[in-house]
């Protein structure tokens, strides 16, 4: 007799969650999905199409989670699905190199390399593919330590770079959502190698380098922070990070796992280049969109640094599933499908939605602000945009649960945390936007009526 297998597919979210709780820690495979900060039963999704997702009960929602970023063209885009089918038919993976990996690297490098004659520090010359953003940032740190022979890492409070040990101190995303300072299970020795400073704070940066400059291997930063809600860098801050690192013989790692291929065709880096505040990253990490929705991520940089990776160099990194042929095919299909019209459309769609939501909140007298980084935005329940984690936490977070559930009831799926960014896709058409705007009034009323927990 089987103990766990029920043989029946759950038909309600409650039933699905109940069963998940028995066999999965917290009923989820990634903490934010558990709805802990907003309360209630998580939805279990059965399918997605265009701007919509559908749960196991058959309820359709306009999706503003976008797979946490990868769904740039919307769900189940025909070209991406066709690329997956074609690749699957040839085999799921070989544990050997395949030409699709090279094609994807070429597509990425083409978007991120400056023209001939540009300073040789700029742009990305080589790319190593891995399977998750966590692996990409973890490898970037190892590479920085290997390249400099130094131990320390500087990160910013509220930034999230995945869940490797060195990077969970005062992290954003789920760590912020759960209201905890970091994770158990990390040795004090490891934690001591990461120095956390406030974001957008030039003085703290100067001070940490004055004190420890010759022991710092790297600064790691989100290209534009979006895991404590959206908090963009002050103009010129990323450039200052590059200059400071360079002046002290350290490296700058810019994490574009979320912003890469979303803010512009060339990610946040492209946006700052166009704005005249371009910066020199020594290493750049990618994830999400680069895999087109399947597990794939990457680490890029100048050849002299990337070539320190095995087999050429002494810094080890490997992966059974690295460069998986199906994931590189879906990633390439997504990048090929993300032409100028996509990057033109995304900010306009985001702006229309955000303006409508903001107007509804204002009409209900709810203090709030919409914060932006390219086409990504999030709503803070405070009157002005925060510049760092302390300010991002200083808001009426207690309004968000009511707001979130009112949206869900009216057919709009938001990230289930006040500290996550919202994502639109190229598939969000007028009908989807209308549905979001129709939910704006009731959600604003719910936020206005919310009260802090005792």
Ligand X SMILES: N[C@H](C=O)CCC(=O)O
Q: Hey, which residues are catalytic here?
A: 160, 255, 288
Number of residues that bind ligand X (CB under 6 A): 9
Q: What is the rounded distance in angstroms from the CA atom of residue 367 to the CA atom of residue 188? A: 40
Report whether 57 contacts 11 (CB < 8 A): yes
Q: Are 171 and 165 in contact (CB under 8 A)?
A: no
Between 32 and 157, CB nearer to ligand X: 32
Q: What minimum distance in Å lies between the beta carbon of 5 and ligand X?
A: 27
Site mask, ligand X, residues 61-80, x = CB under 6 A? Answer: -------x------------
Choose the contact partner of 132 out of ligand PLP, ligand X, none; CB within 5 to 8 A by kind.
Answer: ligand PLP
Interface pick for ligand X out of 174, 233, 298, 401 (rule CB under 6 A): 174
Query: Per DSSP, what are the bridge partners of residue 301?
Result: 126, 283
Nearest residue to ligand PLP, scored by beta-carbon proximity: 133
Residues 94-153 that bind ligand PLP (CB under 6 A): 132-134, 137
- For position 258 contacting ligand X by CB under 6 A, the verdict is yes
- What is the Cα–Cα distance from 295 to 94, expressed in whole angstroms? 16
Number of C-beta neighbours around residue 198 at 10 A: 17
Segment interacting with ligand PLP, rule: CB under 6 A, options 91-99, 156-164, 204-212, 381-389: 156-164
Residue 219 near residue 253, CB atoms below 8 Å: yes
Q: Which residue is nearest to ligand X (CB)?
A: 30
Q: Which is nearer to ligand PLP, 287 or 301 (CB)?
A: 287
Nearer to ligand X, 160 or 422 (CB): 160
> Of 272 and 420, which has the nearer Cβ to ligand X?
420
CA atoms of 448 and 38, how far apart (whole Å): 16
Between 332 and 371, how does the x/- string for binding to ligand PLP read (CB under 6 A)?
----------------------------------------
Of residues 158, 264, 150, 280, the one with CA closest to residue 212: 150
* Secondary structure letter of residue 94 according to DSSP: -
256 scored as a contact of ligand X (CB under 6 A): no
Nearer of residues 83 and 175 to ligand X, judged by Cβ:
175
d(CA 107, CA 122): 17
Pairing of β 216-222 and β 152-156:
parallel
174 binds, among ligand PLP, ligand X, none (CB under 5 to 8 A by kind): ligand X
Instruction: Pick between residue 56 and residue 258 the one whose CB is nearest to ligand X.
Output: 258
- Binders in 297-326 for ligand X, by CB under 6 A: none
CA atoms of 451 and 166, how far apart (whole Å): 37
Rounded to whole angstroms, the Cα distance separating 448 from 201 reads: 33
What distances in angstroms separate CA 116 from CA 103, 107, 119, 123, 242, one per listed residue? 21, 17, 9, 11, 21
Q: Does 194 bind ligand PLP (CB under 6 A)?
A: no
Residues, the chain = 454
Among the listed residues 17, 160, 199, 209, the single contact to ligand PLP using CB under 6 A: 160
Helix (H, G, I), strand (E, B) or coil at 83: helix
Q: Give min distance, CB of 163 to ligand X, in A.
A: 8
Nearer to ligand PLP, 138 or 426 (CB): 138
227 touches ligand X by CB under 6 A: yes
**Minimal distance in Å, beta carbon 31 to ligand X?**
7
What Å distances lie between residue 15 and 26, 33, 34, 56, 122, CA to CA?
Answer: 14, 16, 14, 10, 52
Q: Which of 201-217 are b and which e, b meaning 16 or more Cβ less than 10 Å from the residue's Cβ?
A: beebbeebbeebbeebb
Q: Does 420 bind ligand PLP (CB under 6 A)?
A: no
Does 254 help bind ligand PLP (rule: CB under 6 A)? no
Among 11, 12, 24, 30, binds ligand X (CB under 6 A): 30
Distance CA 58, CA 40 (A): 18
- Applying CB under 6 A, the site for ligand PLP has a residue count of 14
- The tokens describing 125, both together, are 């010359």
Exactly one of 65, 124, 257, 408 binds ligand PLP (CB under 6 A); which one? 257
Query: Within 13 Å of residue 216, how many CA atoms lie on the same side as its CB?
Result: 29
If the CB atoms of residues 52 and 68 are measured against ligand X, the closer one turns out to be: 68
**Which residue, among 43, 65, 38, has the nearest Cα to 54 in the 3D structure?**
43
**By CB under 6 A, is residue 227 in contact with ligand PLP?**
yes
The token pair that represents 448 in the structure block:
């206005």
The residue ranges that bind ligand X (CB under 6 A) are 30, 32, 68, 160, 173-174, 227, 258, 420
The residue ranges that bind ligand PLP (CB under 6 A) are 132-134, 137, 160-162, 222, 227, 255, 257-258, 287, 297
């Amino acid at each position: 007799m089987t103990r766990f297998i029920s043989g029946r597919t759950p038909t309600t979210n409650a039933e699905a969650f109940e069963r998940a709780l028995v066999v999965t820690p917290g009923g989820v495979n990634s903490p934010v999905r558990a709805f802990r900060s907003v309360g209630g039963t998580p939805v279990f999704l059965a399918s997605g199409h265009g701007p919509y997702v559908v749960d196991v009960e058959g309820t359709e929602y306009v999706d503003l989670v976008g797979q946490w970023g990868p769904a740039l063209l919307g769900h189940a885009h025909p070209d991406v699905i066709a690329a997956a089918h074609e690749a699957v038919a040839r085999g799921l993976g070989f544990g050997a190199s395949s030409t699709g990996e090279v094609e994807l690297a070429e597509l990425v490098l083409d978007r991120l390399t400056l023209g001939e004659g540009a300073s040789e520090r700029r742009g990305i010359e080589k790319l190593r593919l891995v399977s998750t953003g966590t692996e990409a940032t973890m490898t970037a740190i190892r590479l920085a330590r290997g390249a400099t022979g130094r131990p320390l890492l500087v990160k910013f409070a509220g930034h999230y770079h995945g869940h490797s040990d060195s990077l969970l101190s005062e992290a954003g995303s789920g760590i912020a959502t759960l209201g905890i300072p970091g994770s158990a299970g990390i040795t004090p020795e490891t934690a001591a190698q990461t120095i956390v400073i406030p974001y957008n704070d030039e003085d703290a940066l100067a001070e940490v380098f004055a004190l420890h400059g010759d022991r710092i291997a790297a600064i790691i930063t989100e290209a534009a922070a979006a895991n404590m809600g959206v908090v963009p860098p002050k103009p010129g801050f990323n450039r200052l990070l590059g200059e400071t690192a360079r002046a002290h013989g350290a490296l700058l790692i810019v994490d574009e796992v979320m912003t890469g291929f979303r803010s512009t065709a060339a990610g946040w880096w492209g946006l700052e280049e166009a704005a005249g505040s371009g910066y020199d990253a020594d290493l750049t990490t990618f994830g999400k969109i680069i895999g087109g929705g399947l597990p794939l991520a990457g680490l890029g940089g100048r050849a002299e640094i990337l070539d320190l990776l095995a087999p050429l160099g002494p810094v080890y990194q490997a992966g059974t599933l690295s460069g998986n042929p199906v994931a590189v095919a879906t990633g390439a299909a997504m990048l090929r499908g993300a032409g100028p019209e996509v990057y033109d459309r995304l900010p306009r769609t985001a702006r229309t939605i955000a303006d409508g939501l903001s107007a509804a909140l204002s009409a209900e007298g709810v203090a709030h602000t919409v914060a932006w980084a390219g086409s990504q935005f999030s709503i803070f329940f405070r009157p002005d945009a925060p510049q760092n984690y302390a300010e991002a936490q200083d808001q009426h977070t207690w309004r968000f649960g009511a707001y979130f559930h009112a949206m869900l009831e009216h057919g709009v799926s938001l990230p289930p945390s006040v500290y996550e960014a919202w994502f639109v896709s190229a598939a969000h058409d007028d009908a989807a936007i209308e549905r979001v705007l129709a939910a704006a009034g009731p959600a604003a009323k719910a936020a206005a009526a919310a009260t802090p927990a005792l």
